[in-house]
Amino acid sequence: MTLGLNDTMKALSDPTRRAILNLLKEGDKSAGEIGENFDMTAATVSHHLSTLKKAGLVSESKEKNFVYYSLNASVLEEVLLWVKELRGK
C-alpha cells in the first residue's frame, strides 16, 4: 500500500470518523457542514478530519473562504484489496 496501513486502520477504527466518511460519500462538505451532523466542538471535528487526512482517506480543497473535504475512495480500495489478498481470494 502506498500510504501507511497503521494510519488508515487507526482512522477507520473510530465510529465518528466512519460516519464522516459516510457523509462525504454524498459529496464534498465543509467542516461546518460536517460538524452540523455531530454533537461535538469544531476543534473535535477538526481533529477527526486531520486524522482522516493523515490517513489519506479525505482530501481538502479551498474555495474562497471555505475548505471543502472529499472522500478519497482510492485508499479504501487499497484496503479492500489488501483484505481480499489476506483472505486468499
What is this structure's pTM? 0.86
Residue 8 near residue 75, CB atoms below 8 Å: yes
For the chain, 89 residues long, give each residue's pLDDT as a single digit of tens.
444 778 888 999 999 999 999 999 999 999 999 999 999 999 999 999 999 999 999 999 999 888 999 999 888 888 888 888 888 86
Number of alpha carbons in the 13 Å side-chain half-sphere of residue 1: 20
Which pLDDT score is estimated for 89? 60
pLDDT at residue number 2:
45
